[in-house]
Chain A
Amino acid sequence: MVMEIVCPAGTPAALRAAVKAGAHTVYCGFNDETNARNFPGLNFDREEMRDGVAFAHAHGSKVLIAINTFPRAGNEAIWHRAVADAEVCGADAVILADPGLLDYAARNHPGLRRHLSVQAAAANADIINFYAETFDVKRVVLPRVLSVQEIAAINAEIQVETEVFVFGGLCVMAEGRCSLSSYVTGLSPNMNGVCSPASHVEYREDKGVLDARLGGYTIHRVGQNEPAPYPTLCKGCFGASDKTGHLFEDPVSLNAEQLIPQLQKAGVTALKIEGRQRSRSYVAQVVRNFRAAVDALEAGCPMPEGMLARLSEGQAMTTGAYKKTWR
């Protein structure tokens, strides 16, 4: 079986670009706080979602709808409606993180396939089996804290499919278990679907030095002509004891392209690309690249050399937790 490429789409145009570029599957979200990329100008209204799913299906691609924030107490109906609408739109699956919402979907929409979002950070076989038994989850998106060996060990102990991130932004914290962003800005991935939101970003340029601030805290300071990473909290430059630097993570992005053969051996079903906030041009380039890689793998050819560095944050790459020394 050729490995499934799961691509991001923040807009209908990006969805079409991804499908045309060879995406087996596209994931996207509604234009509200129900999904974890609730950025200005992004995402799909109901009509766009229905059309997008129809377009993808007509071209033999699948659509997954991410409803992967944690419903706000007293307002669960918004999330319940999103699940119902996903089914009406013809989604091939919904990607959920909140146990309450999984329970709701399993009881009220049993025919709608459920994937466990990376935001649930299910990081071992016990909890994955528990999610599978309790909510009949068919696929788990693994958190970015595991090595390839650990992924292989997990797959040996579970029945459901696994999907792993291979490219794009990298959470250094266990996903869905981080409130750094709301501590500083009041808006968080779990509650609002945003991390280090642009609305709280401020750039100050002075004498060739660019300060990137978030909620009044300086996250980066770069000189003229240096790459300017987005001020994502966990990738900032800070000081502790007598040291200064990127204490949590460098402004790198994930590229596990060369690990695809190992991930296949580890039993992974699908390869996920991060970046619903990126442009249709980005999506098309990345998808083409990864599609070529899995097709080459299937044909027994060597992995093509990557061309993706330029699209990355700070233009540096990491294989993240897939290699154990990252920890």
Chain B
Amino acid sequence: MDLTVGPNQFFWSADRWTGFYDELASSPVDRVVLGELVCSKRLPFYQDRIPEAIATLIEAGKDVALTSLALVTLKRERKQTSELAEMGVEVEINDLTALPHLPEGSKFSVGPLVNVYNEGTLAWLASKGATRICLPPELPLASVETIATVGADLGVSIEVWGHGRLPLAISGRCYHARLHKRTKDNCQFACEDDPDGLDVRTMEGQPFLAMNGVQTLSDTYGCAAYQIDALTQAGVSALRLSPQSKGFTDLCDLYRQLLDGKVNGAHVAGAIVGIDDNIRLSDGFLTGDRGVEWSGNQPLTTPQV
């Protein structure tokens, strides 16, 4: 099974951004998707660093793809989206808006924010040129299996969410701006202070969600460490690791060792929560009754008052 690094979901400074991809060049991942997924206002801060990062990663032998925005509404966002293919690397569409802008006949990949829930949509995307689909994190294992089986017939590789705070929703409204009583147009980049999203707790103090500008994530970090055998059997060919600010290359090493059978799921899960004591894990979307559940032994749903 391959490892794909998904696009960074958060707003990092240009230097942190560059440093992250420089480090990633020497880590044991197969594929890197980069670019701005969440908010078009962030892009100018590091846009000029993208070509160099792509070159570095390709030089290091990685497959590289460029993501589209997750929600395209404004004129400048439409323009950005239409220009994606000009960078010369594969495009990962995370909003179907990107699809009509791809050059006729070009191959593309599909990110987890496009609603691929079934084999009909998979087949339709394949007919348009999709060769790789990272499924929405919400999908249960049974759906993953059905889709991967059809994907194998149609030459589409299936990837699932392997690690990171789960992207649960995208909105027209910026919650970071709202929290600071600002409008989105005058947000003053409030999200920059939260390199892994801002924790949202219930009134009882229970960890719940994380806000990231216009995006809402889970409090828990999705973690497929206990699911590798099931996913392999289901025909999944890649795990997606979503960037976080701390210990990410260690994390790539851990998952690589896990896929190579050198360590077990419990070891990986333990090491992940060791990186940061504010990390709680979940894998319930795949096999639990609900997304927040965790098949490891860490008690998660008890209120931490």
Nearest chain A CB to B205 CB, angstrom units: 8
Q: Mark B141-175, 1 if CB is under 8 A from A, else 0.
A: 01110110000000000000000001011111111
CB of A98 within 8 A of CB of B97, answer no
CB of B168 within 8 A of CB of A327, answer no
B201-218 interface with A by 8 A CB criterion:
201-206, 208-209, 211, 216, 218
CB of A130 within 8 A of CB of B138, answer no
Q: Which residues of B contact A103 (CB under 8 A)?
A: 120, 124
* Number of residues from A at the complex interface, CB < 8 A: 66
CB of B137 within 8 A of CB of A179, answer yes
Q: Which residues of B contact A248 (CB under 8 A)?
A: 171, 173, 175, 178, 216
B95 at the interface (CB under 8 A from A): yes
| CB contact under 8 A between A173 and B118, given known A130-B99, A179-B291 | no
| CB contact under 8 A between A172 and B143, given known A127-B100, A218-B203, A238-B208 | no
Nearest chain A CB to B159 CB, angstrom units: 16
Q: Chain A interface: which of B58-66, B71-79, B273-281?
A: B71-79
Q: Which residues of B contact A59 (CB under 8 A)?
A: none
CB of A244 within 8 A of CB of B203, answer yes
Q: Mark B264-289, 1 if CB is under 8 A from A, else 0.
A: 00000000000000000000110011
Nearest chain B CB to A24 CB, angstrom units: 28
Q: How far is the CA of A144 from the CA of B173 in the complex (A)?
A: 10
| CB contact under 8 A between A173 and B169, given known A72-B118, A130-B100 | yes
Report the nearest A residue to B206, measured CB to CB: A217
- Complex partner residue of B73 from A129, A150, A247, A325, CB under 8 angstroms: A150
- Complex partner residue of A71 from B100, B118, B172, CB under 8 angstroms: B118
Report the nearest B residue to A241, measured CB to CB: B198
Q: Which residues of A contact B204 (CB under 8 A)?
A: 218
| CB contact under 8 A between A127 and B96, given known A145-B172, A177-B169 | yes
A51 at the interface (CB under 8 A from B): no
A240 at the interface (CB under 8 A from B): yes
CB of B117 within 8 A of CB of A72, answer yes
CB of B136 within 8 A of CB of A72, answer no
A184 at the interface (CB under 8 A from B): yes
Report the nearest A residue to B288, measured CB to CB: A186
B231 at the interface (CB under 8 A from A): no
CB of A126 within 8 A of CB of B101, answer yes
Q: Mark A175-186, 1 if CB is under 8 A from B, else 0.
A: 011111011111
A174 at the interface (CB under 8 A from B): yes
A295 at the interface (CB under 8 A from B): no
Q: Chain A interface: which of B5-13, B29-37, B84-92, B179-187?
A: B179-187
- Complex partner residue of B166 from A129, A183, A321, A327, CB under 8 angstroms: A183
| CB contact under 8 A between A247 and B175, given known A99-B125, A123-B72, A177-B113 | yes
Nearest chain A CB to B237 CB, angstrom units: 17
B115 at the interface (CB under 8 A from A): yes
A326 at the interface (CB under 8 A from B): yes
Nearest chain A CB to B179 CB, angstrom units: 6
Q: Which residues of A contact B120 (CB under 8 A)?
A: 71, 76, 98-101, 103-104
B123 at the interface (CB under 8 A from A): yes
Report the nearest B residue to A121, measured CB to CB: B71
Report the nearest B residue to A133, measured CB to CB: B100
CB of A182 within 8 A of CB of B290, answer yes
Q: Which residues of B contact A150 (CB under 8 A)?
A: 73
Q: Which residues of B contact A41 (CB under 8 A)?
A: none
Nearest chain B CB to A325 CB, angstrom units: 5
Nearest chain B CB to A155 CB, angstrom units: 14
- Complex partner residue of B211 from A215, A240, A321, CB under 8 angstroms: A240
- Complex partner residue of A100 from B124, B199, B284, CB under 8 angstroms: B124
Q: Which residues of B contact A70 (CB under 8 A)?
A: 115, 117-118, 121
Q: How far is the CA of A243 from the CA of B184 in the complex (A)?
A: 19
Q: Which residues of A contact B139 (CB under 8 A)?
A: 73
CB of B285 within 8 A of CB of A247, answer no
CB of B183 within 8 A of CB of A145, answer no
B134 at the interface (CB under 8 A from A): no
CB of B71 within 8 A of CB of A123, answer yes
Nearest chain B CB to A209 CB, angstrom units: 11
| CB contact under 8 A between A182 and B285, given known A173-B216, A217-B208, A218-B206 | yes
A319 at the interface (CB under 8 A from B): no
Report the nearest A residue to B210, measured CB to CB: A240
A74 at the interface (CB under 8 A from B): yes
**Which 4 pairs across A and B sit closest by C-beta, in order of nearness?**
A100-B120, A145-B172, A100-B121, A183-B291
Seed contacts A178-B168, A186-B291; 7 additional CB < 8 Å A-B pairs: A71-B117, A71-B120, A145-B171, A179-B166, A239-B203, A243-B179, A248-B178
In the assembled complex, 8 residue pairs joining A and B whose CB atoms fall closer than 8 Å, in A order, are A76-B120, A177-B113, A179-B168, A190-B115, A236-B202, A237-B203, A243-B179, A327-B177
